[in-house]
Amino acid sequence: MTELPVAHPIASPQPGAAEYPGLDAWRDLPVVQQPTWADSEVHRAAVAELSSLPPLVFAGEVDLLRQRLADAAEGKAFLLQGGDCAETFEGATADKISARVRTILQMAVVLTYGASLPVIKMGRMAGQFAKPRSSNDETREGVTLPAYRGDMVNGYEFTPESRAHNANRMVQAYHTSASTLNLIRAFTQGGFADLRLVHHWNKGFTANPAHSRYESLAREIDRAVKFMDACGADFDALKRVEFFASHEALVLDYERALTRIDSRTGLPYGTSGHFLWIGERTRQLDGAHVDFLSRIRNPIGVKLGPTSTADDALRLIDKLDPQREPGRLTFITRMGAGNIREKLPALVEKVTASGAKVLWVTDPMHGNTVTSPNGYKTRNFDDVIDEVRGFFEVHHALGTFPGGLHVEMTGDDVAECLGGADPIDQHAFLERYESVCDPRLNHMQSLEMAFLVAGALGKR
Ligand code: PEP
Ligand code: MN
């Protein structure tokens, strides 16, 4: 087996290093999927700058999310987590951000109404700028360059300059996250997300069955709201929604530099996002990612793919949630439609038997990636749906709670995943494939998915 590299030490003192030296213990551990920054002076300056910038999210908000996730772990709420595979700096426009938020809100309305459960709304947004890759390089027409690792690390354009790893991009990722979060906060706190506007979030594609289903649901909600209004109800609760930010905690220089000691509790919090997760490729038990995330107070997730064993899951719980604190740990399973019914039961059974209260979430995207005949990375909507069904079936059979849905989606009318009620075929990819990484559900496929999950949840 090849030896894994260890992270290099950093000169500038990091926030909280004096109180919590363990926050830097990951630097001596094997670490995978890290950038190889070209210029060490630029790197040091970028890390120093990030260390002094204000937090993007606040410890109090992070604590609130942990409580909400604890509710979900107990079957009293449902987590909806969605957004791009890879956010880009160029894609952080008001139109695209608002379309994504609006689609998540629509999905949440469908789920809340269909299942009569509170829905925790969370974006893969405002920080999802780094990607693990299966290969370090990419070759096109005989030219080999470093693989694209997300805008936080390098550019998508296939030139040596663009593909070089540039630590200044971490600072740009911070600022793009800040402006994205600012817009999200304005939308969700400033009246835009008011349930009385439920009709206005819908748009276009009237021929699509999910469109008219949503329209009739919105009419029902409208009638209920008007009725309550006539009764003199107070609608303050409808005006604002809680919306949380999440991303894969991949580039540890970035995550470490944005760690802050909370003045109320004296504890370390990752302040780059409310919820941080460890990906399928970085969940090594003795690796740097698991160690670093074990030391911050945020609710955290771990992706579990088809090779995960029940023993892996139990050891991850011991490391990441030794106190067995509800809301602390979420397992996001991404087994593939063909595996979920076979692989998930043992994990859920053994974890449940251990007494741990984790939240189980399905990611029906990452185990179902295929290449279309015309060469695009895609997913069949039917496979995605089948994995969700399998997830519900397994939990139903075991009497455990299927607590959430994690999807790659967008509010735009892209063509990246095959199928759906108004089917996308591979020829549409030529015109409307926009993702720089994995294929996302488009606006209508996302709504269709929400109706399906609402049905499954409502039946419980
Ligand atoms: C992702 O969420 O985009 C991703 C890379 O997932 P996974 O770690 O599950 O492969
Ligand atoms: Mn992805």
**Do residues 365 and 435 touch, judged by C-beta distance below 8 A?**
no
Q: Percentage of the chain with pLDDT > 90?
A: 83
- Rounded Cα distance between 385 and 210, Å, is 15
Domain range holding 217?
25-458
In the chain, the number of structural domains is 1
Q: Which segments within 24-77 are labelled E, that is strand?
A: none
Residue 299: which CATH number?
Answer: 3.20.20.70
- For residue 196, the Cα-to-chain-centroid distance in whole angstroms is 27
Whole-number pLDDT of residue 246:
99
**Do residues 318 and 354 touch, judged by C-beta distance below 8 A?**
no
Among 18-27, 126-135, 224-233, the range scoring the smallest mean pLDDT is 224-233
Q: Is residue 309 part of a domain?
A: yes
Say if ligand 1 is within 6 A of residue 280 CB. yes
Judged against a pLDDT cut of 50, whether residue 350 lies above it is answered with: yes
Q: Is residue 325 part of a domain?
A: yes
Q: How confident is the model at residue 2 (pLDDT cuts 50, 70, 90)?
A: very low
Say if ligand 1 is within 6 A of residue 389 CB. no
pLDDT tens for 425-456 read: 999 999 999 999 999 999 999 999 999 999 99
* Ligand found nearest the CA of 280: 1
Which residue's CA is the closest to the ligand 1 atom numbered 4? 279
**Do residues 26 and 291 touch, judged by C-beta distance below 8 A?**
yes
* Assigned token pair, 226: 């008007």
Distances in Å between the Cα of 145 and the Cα atoms of 47, 154, 244, 433, 435 are 25, 11, 36, 23, 20
Q: How far is the CA of 438 from the centre of ligand 2 (A)?
A: 5
Judged against a pLDDT cut of 70, whether residue 329 lies above it is answered with: yes
Q: Is residue 259 part of a domain?
A: yes
DSSP 271: -
Average pLDDT over the chain, rounded to an integer: 93
Q: Which segments within 180-258 are labelled E, that is strand?
A: 243-248
Q: Is residue 428 part of a domain?
A: yes
Q: How far is the CA of 375 from the centre of ligand 2 (A)?
A: 17
H helices of 116-208, where? 160-163, 168-189
* Assigned token pair, 460: 């419980």
Judged against a pLDDT cut of 50, whether residue 1 lies above it is answered with: no
- Rounded Cα distance between 121 and 105, Å, is 8
> Ion ligand 2 — residues with CB under 5 Å?
85, 438
Q: Give 379's contacts (C-beta < 8 A, 6+ positions apart).
A: 365, 368, 369, 370, 417, 418, 438, 439
Q: Is residue 340 part of a domain?
A: yes
Say if ligand 1 is within 6 A of residue 124 CB. no
Q: How far is the CA of 307 from the centre of ligand 1 (A)?
A: 14
Say if ligand 1 is within 6 A of residue 406 CB. no
Q: How confident is the model at residue 11 (pLDDT cuts 50, 70, 90)?
A: low
Ligand 1 probe mutation, 125, 277, 280, most atoms within 8 A of CB:
280
Q: Is residue 176 part of a domain?
A: yes
For 332, phi and psi rounded to 5 degrees? -105, 105
Q: How far is the CA of 219 from the centre of ligand 2 (A)?
A: 35
The pTM score is 0.96
Q: How many CB atoms lie within 10 A of CB 51?
A: 19
Among 145-149, 233-237, 337-341, the range scoring the smallest mean pLDDT is 233-237
Whole-number pLDDT of residue 273:
98
Judged against a pLDDT cut of 80, whether residue 9 lies above it is answered with: no
Q: Give 425's contacts (C-beta < 8 A, 6+ positions apart).
A: 418
**pLDDT, mean of residues 353-357:** 93
Say if ligand 1 is within 6 A of residue 289 CB. no
Which residue's CA is the closest to the ligand 1 atom numbered 9? 280
Q: Is residue 4 part of a domain?
A: no
**pLDDT, mean of residues 102-118:** 92
Q: Is residue 58 part of a domain?
A: yes
More confident residue, 178 or 200: 178
Nearest CA to 303 out of 362, 259, 353 is that of: 362
**pLDDT, mean of residues 327-351:** 98
Ligand 1 probe mutation, 363, 368, 410, 436, most atoms within 8 A of CB:
363
Say if ligand 1 is within 6 A of residue 132 CB. yes
**Do residues 368 and 380 touch, judged by C-beta distance below 8 A?**
yes
Q: How many CB atoms lie within 10 A of CB 402?
A: 23
**Do residues 112 and 72 touch, judged by C-beta distance below 8 A?**
no
Q: How confident is the model at residue 6 (pLDDT cuts 50, 70, 90)?
A: low
* Tally of helices (H runs) and strands (E runs) in the chain: 14, 14
Say if ligand 1 is within 6 A of residue 250 CB. no
**pLDDT, mean of residues 28-51:** 93
pLDDT tens for 359-409 read: 999 999 999 999 999 999 999 999 999 999 999 999 999 999 999 999 999
**pLDDT, mean of residues 193-210:** 76
**pLDDT, mean of residues 59-87:** 98
**pLDDT, mean of residues 198-224:** 79
Say if ligand 1 is within 6 A of residue 279 CB. yes
**Do residues 348 and 336 touch, judged by C-beta distance below 8 A?**
no
Q: How far is the CA of 11 from the centre of ligand 1 (A)?
A: 31
